[in-house]
Amino acid sequence: MSLQNVMDSIEGHQFAAEANLAAGFDAFHRGLQNHLLFRELSDLMRDDAVALKTVLVRLIELSQTPIRMQYENPFDSAMAAYLMAVEGVDPEVAAVAAEAVSKAPNCWWASQISSRIAISADLRRLGVPSAPLMKSVMHNMVVGGAIGHTCPGTLTQEQHSTGRGCYRTRKRRAGNRAA
């Protein structure tokens, strides 16, 4: 498939529908990484610097495309896929692109990916190895923020909601039962 065909498919309704089936950030991330179109895009970008530039230009265009504000951004999944593919080829370039995408309105997945890329870039600038820390930071942003506290990044949202494995949730629930 040519680069243009892959990009047209990624920006299409079917790709967005398949990507939006994810029930959380980790599932979305894994789903994109395993998607045939994403893998094909990544391969094309690794093999050709012009392909990387083409995707970057399109990513910036999509982030600035006017949308109907009462609806989600129709290019949310496509921008997220493009950002992840760019990050796989050149993390420093992805950090610059992530800043532009973070300003795109009504995005969920693309804003999650751009936040993760921005945090990774900041950690790289500080010389901090980001892989183990990143999992904890993203966990606390997504799960911890929803429940009002932070904890080690090894717990799932289900473990939080049931209190299994999270000391603060168990303690808070115990206090509520005593009252």
Nearest to 21 by CA among 36, 31, 13: 31
Can you tell me which residue has the tokens 């089936």? 21
Q: For residue 74, what pLDDT is reported?
A: 93
Residue 178 token pair: 């005593």
What's the mean pLDDT when you consider all of the chain? 80
Does residue 152 or residue 10 have the better pLDDT? 10
Count the residues in the chain.
Answer: 179
Residue 69 token pair: 């504000």
Beta carbons within 8 Å of 28's beta carbon, 6+ residues apart: 19, 22, 80, 109, 112
Beta carbons within 8 Å of 29's beta carbon, 6+ residues apart: 84, 113
**Least confident interval from 39-43, 56-60, 123-127, 132-136:** 132-136
pTM for the whole structure:
0.72
Q: How confident is the model at residue 128 (pLDDT cuts 50, 70, 90)?
A: confident
